[in-house]
Amino acid sequence: MGFVSDDDEHSSPRDEERHEISLPIMKSSGANADSAKSADNTDDAVDADFPNCILKCKSVFKCKLCPRIMCLNVEMVKIHLKSKRHARSEKLLGEGRLKLMLNSDGELEEEQETHAERHARTIALSQVFTLFKNF
């Protein structure tokens, strides 16, 4: 066993991990005014999408276009509305290829057949099978 120094007493493996993690730093350029304008534009777009895409269900926010996404607060909602996943869902909606959405009640709304349509199809199939059995 070795001696414990003052530095070792206050550090932990968890602290060492924090020191090793470094985030990329964006270098500032002369285009700060342009980036500030684009940031304002994205914030305006997020604020415009907020009532159209987001449902408040109990204590969470749900995205209508991304039904598996639940956000706990407004900040998380804004982050989601800027995300690639939400942008992809918007693109699919525009192309008419979005498969799952939330309805106004917060329930999944699929582009599949309704219960009545499924029931009618089942009855029609059963009638066809009884006709084949009679031959």
pLDDT per position as a tens digit, 42-51? 566 566 667 7
Percent share of the chain, pLDDT over 70: 58
pLDDT above 50 (res 118): yes
Angstrom CA distances, 114 to 36, 48, 97, 100, 134, stand at: 48, 32, 19, 14, 31
Total domains in the fold of the chain: 1
Q: What is the pLDDT of residue 43?
A: 60
Is the confidence at residue 23, as pLDDT, over 80?
A: no
Domain-embedded: residue 3: no
11 in any annotated domain: no
Q: Is residue 105 part of a domain?
A: yes
When comparing pLDDT for 19 and 112, which is higher? Answer: 112
Q: What is the mean pLDDT of the chain?
A: 72
| 129 token code pair | 């099978």
Q: Judge whether 17 lies within some domain.
A: no
- Is 4 part of any domain? no
Question: What's residue 71's pLDDT?
Answer: 94
CA atoms within 13 A on the CB side of 132: 6
What the block records as the tokens of 41 is: 């534009």
pLDDT at 31: 46
Q: Is 104 part of a structural domain of the chain?
A: yes
**Residue 19 domain flag:** no
Q: pLDDT value at position 45?
A: 58
| 5 within a domain of the structure (yes/no) | no
Full domain range(s) for residue 115: 47-135
Q: Is the pLDDT of residue 88 over 90?
A: yes
Look at residue 132 in the predicted model and tell me its pLDDT.
65
